[in-house]
Amino acid sequence: MRKPPHVIEIFLNPGEFYFGDRDVRIRTILGSCVSITLWHPKLLIGGMCHYMLPSRQGRETRLADGKYADEALGLLFEEIRRSGTALEDYEVKLFGGGNMFQRQIDAGQSHIGIKNAEAGRYLLKHHGLRPASEDLGGAGHRTVLFDIWSGNVWVRQFAPKDIEYCNGS
Half-sphere exposure in the Cβ direction for 23 (13 Å, CA): 4
* Annotated catalytic residue, options 12, 26, 33, 48: 33
Contact 33, 17 (CB under 8 A): no
Question: Does the annotation mark 33 as catalytic?
Answer: yes
DSSP character string of 93-141: EEEE--B--HHHHHHT---HHHHHHHHHHHHHHHTT---SEEEE-SBSE
Q: Give the bridge partners for 157, in sequence order.
A: 142
**Residues with catalytic function:** 33
